[in-house]
């Protein structure tokens, strides 16, 4: 594909070839998003580069240097969205573009990158991909999950994508378990007893790029296609059949028209997610103190630190963004959000639609949508609603503790709401305070001299708001017995059970003792 062909595809989005027009006949083999200030070690030959300059938006010299690097490394050209981070191309860059016939294409700031990336990747693949199945070819997919769902609806074919370690990245919703796996949650591993042998086979079968490289398995009733990008393996596409008709489709080369479409969609989505992640970082670094109500959502036990497969650009954090986006679009309480990482944890800062909203409403919406996503088993903690963001780091760290506190309180849920934990969360944290432990030990030391029936009477008496008659009723004893026991407790502990501070101290100590 040539740069002028790119222009033909994206001109409907008001794209304009502003400078370096004599280079419109340059060849385009790859399309990349780059948001780093130094590209000397990058191989960008015959690559059309998308960038917003957000990392160097205030440094014109850095912008000039990066364009010089693109030219020296024989990049195909540059697509940049004006009005988001820079308003105009600096004159020095214009001069470079004209002198070196380096095409610079501009886009209006409101055009989503995904809208232009999908058709561009389709065009790049067109030489080997011109027979895509018409029903799928005519659609523009914003994410991989949607196309997998469409394929399932159209052909009954179950498809899912794993990385080279077998961890699940994408699949259509509501899949039945099969012989290979019975867990369809994000990053879950296969459960087949011979998983290790097969994964090793998938990794070693095709050492170098081979278009449509695949393995058929009668035992597993599937075809597994090795997915490549720039000649390197990045994933495994499982295509599972149940009926003979589906098996026949798998044996026909037509199936690779679907495979190619999935690959194109995935490449476009990953590039879009890279841009989205960069914008999230930019917004977080320049977080404004708007008057909108906000909450923090913490996602627990998601290992996103290592790169997926053999491609450093295909990271778990990017895959997770896709599934969070799928969740967020169904939460009517949320009008905007950003996803960030802190201390190897993932959290979402959400802006709420109206000031009267509560975290309980958000919790109910999340729990309703969760079973329909790959995040079904992910536990989350939700913060108190807030407006002021000056102590946002503290709020994020506190929310990370909500799930742990909920578990310690014996709650069994996938969603833990800080507002519902109430004072229990505060008291539970105090259990780790040595001064509190010393006080509890001192206060409750006399219990060691008391019979079990006296200790039980004291607990019930405190639970019944210090009402002797109700205590007698709950314990199936007469009031005189309760009165006698309370007298013995006063004498042994040397306390006044009519004193409010003493009562509070006893209640506090019993709670600290988890008793």
- Per-residue pLDDT of 445-486, as tens digits, reads 888 888 899 999 999 999 899 999 999 999 999 999 999 999
- Rounded Cα distance between 3 and 9, Å, is 10
So what's the pLDDT on residue 407?
78
Instruction: Give the chain's end-to-end CA distance (angstroms, integer).
Output: 73
Tell me what the mean pLDDT of segment 389-412 comes to: 82
CB 79 within 8 A of CB 49: yes
- pLDDT band with cut points at 50, 70 and 90 for residue 3: very high
Counting Cα atoms < 13 Å in the Cβ hemisphere of 114 gives 15
The average pLDDT across 287-303 equals 80
Average pLDDT, the chain: 85
Evaluate whether 287-424 and 431-512 have a shared fold: no
Measured CA to CA, the distance from residue 167 to residue 30 in angstroms comes to 27
What integer pLDDT is reported at residue 514 of this predicted model?
A: 64
Give the pLDDT score at 127: 42
SS3 at position 437? helix
DSSP string, 85-109: S-SS--HHHHHHHHHTT--EEEE-T
Which whole number is the average pLDDT over 86-103? 92
Phi, psi of 129 (to 5 degrees): -135, 30
Give the rounded percent of residues in the chain with a pLDDT score beyond 70.
Answer: 90
The correct answer on CATH 3.30.450 for the domain covering 128-267 is yes
**Which letter does DSSP use for residue 438 in this model?**
H
At 130, is the pLDDT very low, low, confident or very high (cuts 50, 70, 90)? Answer: very low
Query: For the ranges 70-84, 422-436, 490-504, which has the lowest average pLDDT?
Result: 422-436
Q: Which CATH architecture has domain 3-111?
A: 3-Layer(aba) Sandwich (3.40)
pLDDT of residue 131: 44
Q: Is 352 left (phi over 0), alpha (psi -120 to 50) or beta?
A: beta
- What is the tens place of the pLDDT at every residue in 111-128? 888 888 888 887 775 543
Q: Is the pLDDT of residue 138 over 80?
A: no
pLDDT bin (cut points 50, 70, 90) of residue 62 is confident
Domain at 287-424, CATH from 3.40.80.10, 3.40.640.10, 3.40.50.970, 3.30.70.120: 3.30.70.120
Asked if the model's pLDDT at residue 308 lies above 60, the reply is no
Domain coordinates in residue numbering, the chain: 3-111, 128-267, 287-424, 431-512
Round to whole Å and give the CA distance between 233 and 199.
13
Burial of 298 (C-beta count, 10 Å sphere; 0-12/13-18/19+): buried
What's the confidence (pLDDT) of residue 468? Answer: 92
Split at pLDDT 50, 70, 90, the class of 24 is very high
Which of 45-49, 304-308, 312-316, 449-453 comes out lowest in average pLDDT?
304-308
Asked whether the beta carbons of 482 and 472 are under 8 A apart, the reply is: yes
Give me the percent of the chain exceeding a pLDDT of 90. 27
CA distances from 28 to 7, 45, 98, 228 (A): 12, 9, 19, 18
Under CATH, which number does the domain 431-512 receive? 1.10.10.2840
State the Cα–Cα distance between residues 223 and 334, nearest whole angstrom: 40
């Amino acid at each position: 594909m040539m740069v002028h062909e790119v222009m033909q595809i994206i001109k409907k989005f008001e794209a304009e070839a502003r400078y370096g027009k004599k280079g419109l006949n340059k060849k385009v083999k790859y399309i990349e998003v780059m948001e780093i200030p130094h590209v000397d070690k990058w191989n960008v030959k015959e690559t059309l580069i998308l960038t917003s300059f957000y990392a160097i938006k205030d440094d014109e010299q850095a912008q000039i240097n990066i364009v010089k690097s693109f030219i020296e490394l024989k990049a195909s050209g540059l697509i940049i969205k004006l009005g988001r981070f820079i308003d105009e191309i600096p004159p020095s860059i214009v001069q470079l573009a004209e002198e070196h016939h380096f095409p610079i294409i501009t886009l209006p700031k409101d055009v989503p990158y995904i809208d232009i990336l999908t058709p561009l990747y389709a065009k790049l693949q067109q030489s080997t991909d011109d027979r895509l199945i018409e029903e799928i070819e005519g659609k523009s997919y914003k994410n991989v999950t949607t196309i997998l769902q469409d394929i399932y609806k159209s052909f009954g074919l179950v498809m899912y994508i794993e990385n080279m370690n077998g961890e699940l990245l994408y699949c259509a919703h509501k899949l039945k378990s099969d012989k290979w796996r019975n867990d369809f949650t994000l990053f879950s591993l296969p459960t087949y007893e011979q998983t290790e042998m097969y994964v090793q086979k998938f990794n070693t079968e095709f050492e170098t790029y081979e278009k449509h490289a695949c393995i058929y398995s009668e035992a597993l009733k599937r075809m597994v296609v090795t997915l490549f990008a720039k000649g390197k393996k990045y994933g495994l596409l499982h295509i599972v059949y149940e009926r003979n008709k589906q098996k026949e489709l798998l044996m026909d080369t037509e199936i690779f028209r679907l495979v190619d479409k999935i690959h194109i969609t995935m490449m476009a989505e990953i590039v879009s997610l890279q841009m989205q992640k960069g914008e999230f970082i930019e917004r977080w670094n320049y977080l404004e103190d708007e008057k909108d109500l906000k909450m923090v959502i913490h996602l627990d036990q998601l290992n996103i630190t290592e790169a997926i497969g053999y491609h450093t650009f295909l990271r778990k954090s990017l895959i997770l963004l896709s599934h969070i986006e799928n969740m967020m679009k169904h939460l009517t309480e949320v009008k905007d959000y950003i996803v960030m990482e802190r201390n190897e944890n993932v959290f979402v800062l959400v802006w709420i639609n109206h000031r009267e909203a509560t975290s309980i409403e958000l919790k109910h919406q999340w729990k309703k949508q969760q079973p329909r996503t790959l995040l079904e088993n992910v536990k989350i903690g939700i913060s108190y609603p807030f407006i002021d963001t000056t102590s946002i780091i503290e709020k994020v760290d506190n929310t990370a503790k909500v799930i742990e506190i909920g578990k310690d309180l014996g709650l069994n849920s996938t969603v833990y709401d800080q507002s519902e934990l109430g004072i229990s969360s505060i008291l539970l944290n105090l259990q780790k305070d040595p001064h509190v432990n010393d006080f509890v030990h001192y206060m409750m030391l006399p219990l060691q001299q008391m019979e079990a029936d006296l200790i039980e009477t004291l607990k019930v008496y405190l639970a019944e708001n210090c009402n002797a008659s109700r205590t007698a009723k709950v314990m199936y004893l007469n009031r005189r017995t309760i009165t006698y026991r309370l007298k013995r407790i006063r004498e042994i502990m040397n306390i006044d059970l009519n004193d409010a501070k003493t009562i509070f101290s006893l209640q506090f100590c019993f709670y600290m003792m988890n008793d």
